[in-house]
Structure 1
């Protein structure tokens, strides 16, 4: 067992620490909680023909887990958790006995993932090549200053970290072409030993482990907050909202919480949970490129991959019912900041001083506020048998604020 009470075999999987020694903090968003609950109550009252029952809606306590404060490395965010489990594989001798000399990864032009890979490369004393796809998403298409978009924000940070940036034109990334393998082969021909990390680290077989571990971290923080009397209601986070990009963040959370509950049941200390509806992890999609069923299947696949590694029965313990994706807030394109998302970002900044990002957390905040203010959370809770005066909602802030500079004209 670790200090997070992670059971075997999960606790035995090698990890290279990239996070702070303490958990990323969780703190309340009190003003947002009040305004969102008031909006839900107003809607309930308006919907009631007699104008009665204005207080039927439960109090929604909104909290934020600051993954953007989780690591001392550049532009802290959710990818460092994934990379903690990938770094031991990077450092392991390759099949030919040689060691890795260069990390290669890819992303959209303002990719957060590429920054964190470049930062890890710098820390490990390795070189890095970052492939940025001009055709991915709508950020570049919608900007009024393409030159600024391609050279500021995350692109600027990646270069500061010493990575080589290669911009790929849309035709180089077409479905019938693989731009990556020729680049890897070119590096090999020049004497390098490259290590490929796919976009978001989600297609990497270790990509889901970081957020499986995060589930145990959240559970420990729930206990601490509850003991201090600050986490009301159920004493846990009943709903967790997180962005859905490449998919392994939410997949890891699903697998981790499954293992957590299974472990508690085996230990016989889950009595207090029996009367509560199942905790819900709701992931807000950030891209309309693929339909929701495609991403649901992807999330299940990633969760099962992680689940099998950490001690779950992947087929029996994880199913499509565990995946709740919401595609109503994707906007017109990935990476394109729509007016509704901008309004959500502005609102959260002005009431609780929280800065989100234009690609992921902005859409997630917009979705979370809709769930609360439309009464959707209260209805979902009631339908599933819940009856509480207060509900606790956790927003996982995955970082990405460094991209804001590239969106200055929007």
Structure 2
């Protein structure tokens, strides 16, 4: 039997409460040989692409990256006096007089996050209320069958999970401020716990992917990587921002731990170069600079919690690398480039991506690994092989809602 992988976190990170939602073993990392060979050309070094399957990380419905974030939020949900349940527009909300009885969250019509919150609620024996905005992005507006778009995919799964669903248009007040809904629930005797979209604005939202950094580092040795021996580039979706932010803060702490260990053992300073974390933006609604500031803020918030001593100096804007060239026309809209990426990954590797996030990440990754960037990086660092990790954050359940655009 395969021995269980142990993730060793330093203090104070190791002391932060976490409620297991993921499988006991890390989500698998496996090679993508066809995409790797396609990406290696006479003008590039050898490219070795791997996928980390966050879409296979949990036994709960529609496994994906939000469960990793929620693991650190559950202890607060179940505590006798939750501290982080407030709506971001009303941060003075009083602590709940007891554990939460209902989880409330928001998202676009085909939000993966809302499904994972609803599934978690059922697992914890709680109720779930999801607020879905039809006008977030262009998925609903550009569908040839908007009625079906509002019923299939993640909407259907939310219903199967028994969540109460409320749909809004952009002009509805609740579309931008959920506090009246939370007040309504309190008056009816409920104790609502608010989880913002993507869990990124939650104070604990970045911790899950800070832990993932340590997990990836342990798995790197199992992948028997050539070249640098670690993943030189890590490509991941950047939507609400805390997945990228958590990885940045986690790897910063990991590098500090490794340098400290190297110094105490009398070895030379830690020789490995930092991993390049590339967030592929999936929406053109806000400029890249807005997302960079947001990711930097989230990374520093997580870094402070996990034990970085001076986050202002240890995490800077130079650590935030976001690419906005693959956002497409609108959030949730499948353009031709996204469609090609979906088909390419399915046909070459038998892997199904989602139409909103991971298909755009794959498009951005393939463009960059086939560019001169990889050659320059390899030459600068004396490498004959560049190792690339694609983080599959899930979301395939939304595909059925896009039945008229993915074929």
Given the two structures, how large is their TM-score scaled by the length of structure 2? Answer: 0.92
Aligned to 1:81: 68
Aligned to 2:291: 295
Structure 1's 288 and 380: CA in aligned 2 closer, same or farther, altered over 3 A? farther
| 1:25 equivalenced with 2:63 (yes/no) | no
Per-residue deviation, residues 389-410 of structure 1 (Å, max 9, x unmatched): 1110000000000000000000
Aligned to 2:386: 391
Aligned pair partner of 1:237 in 231, 246, 260: 231
- For structure 1, the residue ranges without an aligned partner over 5 or more in a row are 45-56
Aligned to 2:210: 212
Aligned pair partner of 1:9 in 7, 12, 15: 12
What is the CA-CA distance between 1:173 and the residue it aligns to? Answer: 5.3
Structure 1's 276 and 93: CA in aligned 2 closer, same or farther, altered over 3 A? closer
Aligned pair partner of 1:60 in 35, 41, 47: 47
Q: 1:123, 1:157 → 2: CA distance?
A: 15
Q: 1:91, 1:277 → 2: CA distance?
A: 40
Aligned to 2:281: 285
What is the CA-CA distance between 1:225 and the residue it aligns to? Answer: 2.4
Structure 1's 158 and 348: CA in aligned 2 closer, same or farther, altered over 3 A? same
| 1:342 equivalenced with 2:339 (yes/no) | yes
3-state SS of 1:64 partner = strand
Spell out the pairing of 1:3-402 with structure 2 (5 A cutoff): 3-38=6-41, 41=42, 44=43, 57-94=44-81, 95=95, 97-172=97-172, 178-226=176-224, 231-268=225-262, 274-312=270-308, 313-382=310-379, 385-402=380-397
Q: 1:21, 1:295 → 2: CA distance?
A: 33
> Quick check: 1:26–1:63 contact (8 Å CA) kept in 2?
yes
Q: 1:96, 1:60 → 2: CA distance?
A: 52
3-state SS of 1:349 partner = helix
Aligned length: 385
Per-residue deviation, residues 302-336 of structure 1 (Å, max 9, x unmatched): 00000000000211110000000000000010010
3-state SS of 2:73 partner = helix
Q: Which stretches of structure 1, 4 residues or longer, exceed 4 Å deviation after superposition?
A: 269-276
3-state SS of 2:223 partner = helix
What is the CA-CA distance between 1:20 and the residue it aligns to? Answer: 0.2
- For structure 2, the residue ranges without an aligned partner over 5 or more in a row are 82-94
> Quick check: 2:48–2:385 contact (8 Å CA) kept in 1?
yes
Aligned to 1:47: none
Aligned to 1:49: none
What is the CA-CA distance between 1:224 and the residue it aligns to? Answer: 2.4
> Quick check: 1:251–1:299 contact (8 Å CA) kept in 2?
yes
> Quick check: 1:277–1:381 contact (8 Å CA) kept in 2?
no
> Quick check: 1:283–1:326 contact (8 Å CA) kept in 2?
yes
Aligned to 1:53: none
Q: CA RMSD in A?
A: 1.6
Q: 2:314, 2:72 → 1: CA distance?
A: 23
